[in-house]
Structure 1
Amino acid sequence: MTGRVEVGGMDENDASPVLPPDAALAMLMRKELLRLAAAEEELAVTEAARTPYWEACPESVTAHRVAARVLREDADRFLVSNALLRTAS
C-alpha cells in the first residue's frame, strides 16, 4: 500500500485522483459537512412550507439555516486546508 487514498465513487481501475491520506480525509470531511448542510436546508424549507404566510417564521427555520451556513463555512475550511496540503506535498 502506498499510503494514498482514492477519493470518489469510482472503481480502482478508473482514473480517479489519488490523494495523500490527510488530503483524502479533508475531502471526505468536507463532503460530509456539505451533506449535513443540505439536510439542514431541507429541514428549514420543510418547516417553512408548513407555516401559513400570515404567521411568523418559526425560530427553528432560522436555526436550521444558520446551522447550514456554519456547516458550509466549516466545509470551506477543509477546502482551504486541502489546498494547503496539496501545495505542501
Structure 2
Amino acid sequence: MTTHASASTEMIVALARELRRLAKAEDDRAAAEAAEVPYWVPCPSSVLGARAAAQALRADAERLDAAWCSRPLAS
C-alpha cells in the first residue's frame, strides 16, 4: 500500500529528475549549436537562451530538493 506521503515524495523526486533531464537537454542543444559557429562569431542568442533555460531548470530542481529535504518527517 502506498501512503500519501510516499507518493508525494516519489512525485517530487521524479519531478526534480525530469527538470534535470530537461536542463541537460538544453545544455546539449546549446553546445551542439555553439559548436557550429566559428569562434570569432558572436554566440547566437538561441544558445544563450538555451543555457539560461538550463540554469533555470536546475535552479527549480534545487528548490524542489531544498523544500523536500526541509519537510518534517511523517507524524
What's the counterpart of residue 19 of structure 2?
A: 33
1-structure distance, mates of 2:11, 2:43: 38
Higher relative contact order (CA 8 A, sep 6+): 2
Structure 2 gap segments, 5+ residues each:
none
Counterpart of 1:63 (choices 19, 32, 49) is: 49
Q: Write the distance in 1 (CA, Å) between the matches of 2:3 and 2:24.
A: 31
Q: TM-score, with normalisation over the residues of structure 1? A: 0.76
CA distance in 2, matches of 1:81, 1:23: 11
Matched with 1:3 is 3
Which runs of 5 or more residues in structure 1 are unaligned?
A: 5-18
**Percent pairwise identity:** 38
Q: Aligned residue for 1:45?
A: 31
Q: What residue number does 2:40 align with? A: 54
CA contact (8 A) 1:26 1:81 kept: no
TM-score, reference length from structure 2: 0.89
Q: What code does the residue aligned with 1:69 have?
A: Q
1:28/1:57 Cα in 2 relative to 1: closer, same or farther (>3 Å)? same
The answer for the alignment partner of 2:61 in structure 1 is: 75
Which contiguous aligned blocks of 4+ residues in structure 1 show a shift greater than 4 angstroms? none
